Amino acid sequence: MAYPKELLDSIKAKAQTLRRDVVISMGVGHAGHLGGSGSSADIVAALYFHKMNHDPKNPKKPDRDRFLLSKGHAAILQYSALAEAGYFPVEELKHTKEIGAMLQGHPDVRKTPGIEAGTGSLGQGLSIGLGMALGLKADKIPANVYVICGDGEIAEGQIWEAAMAAKVFKADNLVAIVDQNTLQAQGKVCDRFDTNPLPEKWKAFGWNVIEIDGHNIEEILTALDAADEVKGQPTVIIAHTIKGKGVSFAEGVVGFHNGTLTEETYQKALDELKA
């Protein structure tokens, strides 16, 4: 289907706002996951500000769609989305990872409204998401569960246990999104623990597979809507992305998987994202 230009432009602008918030969350001289946040920002913007049924004033409403950031080390991106959506004041982002703050290095369901599960011990998010999806089905609640995984993360065996089980239990309300930015903490995925080829693997596990440009808003929305039409099997969206997208000096640079900003690079990033 064709989407109004105003909608596409709005989501794209929101993604840039999220990237800017990520930079503000990091600040100067503190390590933060700029790379994986930048690669997933367009997808997260499309979910929170268009696709998902959720309510910042009632974070636990039973029929809400669930979102899990399985690669929980990129929590500053989800925090930015939650803040911009109204779950808590945007000013809280400046206190990320401070002792006693509500926003810690990995998502904490006990501290932060809008977080569905503690993630960041890599590989667990898809299993948790599957459990939620099956619970929703058992309760006859028409809601979806969206789980973003990293292409490095899916080297974890628990991902594939969840993938097998999701097919067996016909979890068609579960949508996995693989952020395939091709880089992980220590280098290229293909050089460290090669998880390719992704489409063939997921198809072999019985999933409906959709490949997209993860920075093309129209393709993101089309894929999310297409997943709604699939019955009897889970869907995985393989999103081809650029690590550090939106910040010129961080794009495709493995050092910004978890890097620090100087006063100069901090201001440069903010200037680029404002533009």
How does pLDDT run across 44-89, given as a tens digit for each residue? 999 999 999 999 999 999 999 999 999 999 999 999 999 999 999 9
Tell me how far apart the alpha carbons of residues 47 and 153 are, in angstroms, rounded to a whole number: 21
- According to the model, what pLDDT value does residue 199 have? 98
Place of tokens 């930079």: 23
Report pLDDT digits (tens) over 168-224.
999 999 999 999 999 999 999 999 999 999 999 999 999 999 999 999 999 999 999
Collapsing DSSP to helix, strand or coil, 187 comes out as: strand
Residue type, 31: A
pLDDT band at 275, cuts 50/70/90?
low
pLDDT tens per residue across span 124-182: 999 999 999 999 999 999 999 999 999 999 999 999 999 999 999 999 999 999 999 99
| H or E stretch covering 251 | none
Spans of all domains in the chain: 5-274
Q: What is the mean pLDDT of residues 263-274?
A: 97
CATH superfamily of 5-274: Thiamin diphosphate (ThDP)-binding fold, Pyr/PP domains (3.40.50.970)
Q: In what order do the strands lie in the sheet with 66-69?
A: 66-69, 145-150, 174-180, 235-240, 208-213
Cα gap 105→119, rounded to integer Å: 10
* Tokens representing residue 198 in the block: 């992704």
Among 86, 75, 77, smallest CA distance to 109 is for 75
Model pTM score: 0.97
Supply the pLDDT for residue 217.
Answer: 98
> Pairing between strand 187-188 and 183-184?
antiparallel
| Alpha-helical segments (H) within 169-241 | 189-192, 198-204, 217-228
Express as a percent the part of the chain with pLDDT over 70.
Answer: 100
Look at residue 70 and give its three-state secondary structure: coil
